[in-house]
Structure 1
Amino acid sequence: MSLASYIGCNVEVPLSNDEENNFIYIGDCFSNKYNKQDVQKYQITTPFVYEVSSDWGIEISEDMNQTTCAESKKKLIALCEIMDSYLEKGDYFELYSCWGGEEKDKRVGDITLKIDKLNVDLIELPEKTLVRIEK
């Protein structure tokens, strides 16, 4: 199993080009259409859902390997930079990470963050937490 991360938003976001070497890849990696349908039905509230990847999902927790946690912080910053260019003031996107196949499972929490006040060193984003990031 792999940790998959999904974003939901109210606007369409272009998929990453396979030839690009992106730190954050928007497009299928660990998931299939059924996984995304389950995330949309059970977790995310927006009409557009995408998997975001870079070999592993985004999870920030003191219980995880610190190298992986530091990488997740960098991924979250990069994702927010990408999404900031698509969002209008007052809009938001959602982030949800879970193990592949657990998209229907009950979430463990909800967090709301401001994109312009994001401090990755002060937050914890465990798996199965719905994160709303507002502009």
Structure 2
Amino acid sequence: MSLASYIGWNVELLPCEDGEHNALIQIGNCFSSKYDKQHVKKYQFTAQFVYEVSSDWGIEISKDMSPSQCFESKKKLTALCEMMNDYLEKGEYFELYSWWVGEEKEKRVGELTLKMDTLNVDSIEMPKKTLVRFEK
């Protein structure tokens, strides 16, 4: 199984923008199918559009993870927020959700809202199956 991460956002990316990336994060396909994205949109997100956040592994920050995996997730989350900060206007948001591929319809375990301008990745816990809303 693979841990996949998705963002929900109220802006549609143009085809030429799909695959936007930096060193750690790419918005584009990796593990998911179009059906996985449909399930994510229906069961998890409030945002209109869904995109997979491609990386070698999903983004999860929890005490159950190894320190090295947690460190990598914090780097990925920081890179994602920096990238999305360039797109979002004040008052807008994006959502992030990570889980095992195939579990898109399962009930989430929690929800969290974070402000991007005061985000401290070292002080948050973001386990899989938690819907995280990042507000600018």
| TM-score normalised to structure 1 length | 0.95
Aligned partner of 2:47 in structure 1 is: 46
CA distance in 2 between counterparts of 1:128 and 1:109 reads 7
What residue ranges of structure 2 are gaps of 5+ in the alignment?
Answer: none
Distance 1:82 1:71 in 2: 17
Distance 2:69 2:99 in 1: 15
CA distance in 2, matches of 1:47, 1:22: 27
Q: Displacement of 1:53 after TM fit? A: 1.8
Compute the TM-score of the two structures, normalised by the length of structure 2.
0.94
Query: 1:1-135 residue pairs with structure 2 within 5 A?
Result: 1-13=1-13, 14-16=17-19, 22-135=23-136
C-alpha distance in structure 2 between counterparts of 1:21 and 1:121, whole Å: 21
Superposed structure 1 runs of 4+ greater than 2 Å apart: none
Contact 1:3–1:99, Cα closer than 8 Å, also in 2: yes
* 1:21, distance to aligned residue in structure 2 (A): 6.9
> How far does the alpha carbon of each residue in 1:75-121 deviate from its partner, in whole angstroms, 9 at most, with x for none?
00000011111111000000000000001000000000000100000
Among all aligned residue pairs of Structure 1 and Structure 2, give the percentage whose two residues are the same amino acid.
70
Do the aligned residues in 1 keep the contact of 2:6 with 2:98 (CA within 8 Å)? Answer: yes
CA distance in 2, matches of 1:89, 1:21: 22
How many equivalent residue pairs? 133
How many angstroms does 1:22 deviate by? 3.2
RMSD: 1.2
The offset of 1:12, in angstroms, is 2.4
Name the CA distance, whole Å, in 2 between partners of 1:21 and 1:80. Answer: 11
Q: Deviations over 1:7-61 (max 9, x none)?
A: 01111242226xx773101111010100000000000111110000211000000
